[in-house]
Chain A
Amino acid sequence: MRHYLIRRIILTVPTIIGISLVSFVVIHLAPGNPVDSMTMLDPKVSFEAREKLMAQYGLDRPIYAQYMDWVRRIVFLDFGVSYRDGQKVIAKVAARAPVTLLINILSVLLILLIAIPIGAASAVRCGGLYDRFTTVIVFIGFAFPGFWLALLLMSLFGIRLGWLPVQGIVSLDFDTLTAVGKTVDVAMHLVLPVFVSCVGGIAGMSRYVRNNMLEILHKDYIKMARAKGIKERDVIYKHALGNAVLPIITILGLSVPGLIGGSVIFESVFGIPGMGRLFYESVMSRDYPVVMAVLVIGALLTLVGNLMADISYSVADPRVRYDK
């Protein structure tokens, strides 16, 4: 196991270098540049001013030289400063990541909590009224455009009923609230975003659990368990469900990078200043240092997620062993 781990960790280094190189080249080759999007065809901006800005950002130098500069800084974990506002990139990411993380972790937990029972129950009652009902609901959930659902809910709960805030993550008077008040305030703001971000996930995950469960319910060892006279409840929840949810480890591992990646549409509709908007804004303004930071962090998390999934497997499933 230890050898395996060490080998995997060493392998991440060339992978990261490769990813960063490709990302760097691609975003620099993408048409447009930071100065253009900054000066936005403003007639007050003279030609000389544009040239000067290009030179100040080092954009007039060959791309390999710019990449080497970037590597030289990144070795010391320095992601540089944003072209847009001169702030440290790492500070910008740190300001945006927590809210995205919070919403994503809450929704992953909620998805598991709701989807596994739904999926398992519909597998057990396969073909029955409940199964058909949940299937219809699940497909509606799949098909529903998230931003539209968001606007409908905001209109209902935020304006008609007035129960929940329309958008944002805190109220205007947040700073004056007590600790309890602050928690309640944030929680109220999170209800709709977390719910909306769950809908698609619940739909997908419950189908996944249902199918796994169905497959396992037809396995011989389940028949064996039943033949031995074990209670049906134990057969389903102990013997079948445990095996049915094992593959979810892979899905969770793959979702680790997604935890800090937000959707720009979702975040815009809810007025959440998260990672999705940060990435979108930086791509649109060709803010290369920020784009690179988000991509590299995402790549790192993907590798970490995969590794964690592999390790969890060996812990959870005795059939999986990495050392001979």
Chain B
Amino acid sequence: MDYSLKGLPARGDCLIAASIADAITLIPMVASDSASHELCSLIYSGLIRYDKDLNIIGDLALSWEISQNGREIVFTLRDDVRWHDAVPFTADDVLFTYHSLIDPKTRTPYAGDFNKIESLQVINPYKIKVTYAQPFAPALSSWAMPIIPRHLLQNEDLSFAKFGRQPVGTGPYKFVRWVTGQQIVLKANDDYFGQRPYIDYYIYRVIPDPSTMFLELQAGGVDLMGLTPLQYNRQTQNVYFNRCFNKYSYPSHGYTYLGYNLRDNKFKDKKVRVALDMAVDKQSIIDGVLLGLGRICTGPFLPDSWAYNKGVMSRRRDIPGAKRLLAQAGWADTDGDGIIDKDGIKFQFCLLINQGNSLREYAAQMIQQQLKEVGVMMRIQSIEWGVLLGEFINKKRFEAVLMGWGLPPEPDCLDIWHSSRVREGEFNFISYKNEEVDRLLEQGRLVIDRASRAGIYQRIHSILYDEQPYMFLWIEDSLPIIHKRFKNIKSSPSGIRYNFTEWYVPSEEQKYGPRHKVLL
């Protein structure tokens, strides 16, 4: 062996990632679970993708031009891309993907952004023009949607196609096999149009029990998994873990909040909501529940992104101040039982949480204790997810709820905050209504210029924090642990996966070589 090459990037080896859930289908627009999306992102490519700082960069598209005030996007596509079965990729595939998305027969939940398209024209095999009925700022980011191959799917019903279990894409990894409930194996795509990944194989291993997964990590059967805060802080501090694994932490793309039903008289007054916010010490919850591995959330935007308003400061815990505000709103403890009341009605409410999420259960108990100090009585009820959604959230039969939203790089959140989105099953289930926010959300979709959009979303951020329709709680950290032989892994605002194709194992450290039988 030539030792001068020690530690240098080399092709080979295999990464075994563990997940608690199996993928459902590998047709990206039909899949709605995170496991499927994670695998699809390795198998397929979209027209655009995000770089490490969450900027939009070309993937299948070499370049694009936005004109007509944002109504038109002309994409120039790469002409050197082949599907995994060697058939060339062309604009027809993009057209086909679009038609599949808007086809009423396709069981896709993601048609929304694409129904806004007025026409999609193929100018030549490597140029397409997308025209929107009106300017639509999130349009460009919606083209991160993976493109599917026309030549394999044009006569198939996407909802039932066998293709979902033997996909063909243009991404850095090719599909090899899928053993239901056990593992999915991918292999590096030698003809990938970008940089061919160093790591030859990617095995996605399904291990439904987190404790078992942790044991399998120690046994060497898993190279990458997400840790719980407890595992991160307490169970992986010994010599063995320090020798064999690297741990990473970065803000996850999601936040947890306590949402009030604003149709409930108790929560209609902004003073009350602000007082409740002042009564709860978020940092103590983060320290207690997440063992410090998270940050305080002040609004529905990704921290460090352009839409995030750095000027929004979280309120300090202030019990006397909270009591004063509640008193101004008419709530005081008149009968001396420790619970504040108004017009003979005590301030008590029920917080709904979804069953089986222990972090939320602990957090709810801490909030309960802290609210007691200002005389507010909160009960906690945990309910199975399907029932919580179907019977309580969608039908608006709740007082308050502890839940989370994702924080995608595209900040448009009209569907969550706009006062028109209050029908059963829509996402403004707390019935929030603020005319300025409505207007800003609409503008945010129409204005294309990044700087003007930033102003709009930063304003929304500060209004929402001021008005407290949600008590914004925390953004927890993602805590992946990865075997030490994998190099060139760098944390960034978008996480660690953005440069997965550049991860490598130096040849002298490779565990699974051609001689190792895992790799067929």
Contacts and interface: CB of A to CB of B under 8 A. Distances in A.
Contact of A172 (B109, B113, B203, B426): B203
Interface string A42-54: 1111111110110
A277 interface: yes
Interface residue SS majority, chain B: loop
A31 interface: yes
Interface stretch (A78-86, A242-250, A314-322): A78-86
A161 B160 CA distance: 46
Contacts, number: 166
A53 B107 CA distance: 6
Given A166-B219, A176-B517, A269-B209, A41 B386 contact: no
A32 B384 contact: yes
A255 interface: no
A323 to B, nearest CB: 47
A49 B260 CA distance: 26
Contact of A49 (B110, B211, B421, B427): B110
Contacts of B516: 173
A40 B354 CA distance: 12
A108 interface: no
Interface residues of B, number: 63
A106 to B, nearest CB: 20
Interface string B186-206: 000000000000000001001
Which of A38, A95, A168, A169: most chain B CB closer than 10 A? Answer: A168
Interface stretch (A152-160, A209-217, A222-230): A152-160
B413 A43 contact: yes
A273 B208 CA distance: 9
Residue of A42, A48, A151, A285 ringed by the most chain B CB atoms within 10 A: A42
Contact of B25 (A32, A85, A270): A85
Most B CB within 10 A of own CB, among A33, A96, A162, A268: A268
Nearest to B425: A50
A38 B415 CA distance: 18
Contacts of B16: 172
Contacts of B30: 86
B326 interface: no
Interface residues of A, number: 57
Given A85-B24, A159-B218, A172-B16, A271 B209 contact: yes
A45 B111 CA distance: 8
Contacts of B384: 32, 284
Contacts of B385: 32, 37, 284
A86 to B, nearest CB: 4
A207 interface: no
Contacts of B105: 56
Contact of B181 (A48, A166, A177, A273): A273
Given A42-B32, A44-B113, A273-B182, A151 B24 contact: no
B390 A43 contact: no
B159 A86 contact: yes
A73 to B, nearest CB: 15
A45 B218 contact: no
Contacts of B408: 44
A170 interface: yes
Given A33-B390, A151-B211, A167-B216, A46 B111 contact: yes
13 contacts: A30-B387, A32-B389, A32-B390, A36-B394, A40-B33, A42-B109, A42-B406, A46-B111, A166-B212, A166-B221, A167-B216, A173-B516, A271-B206
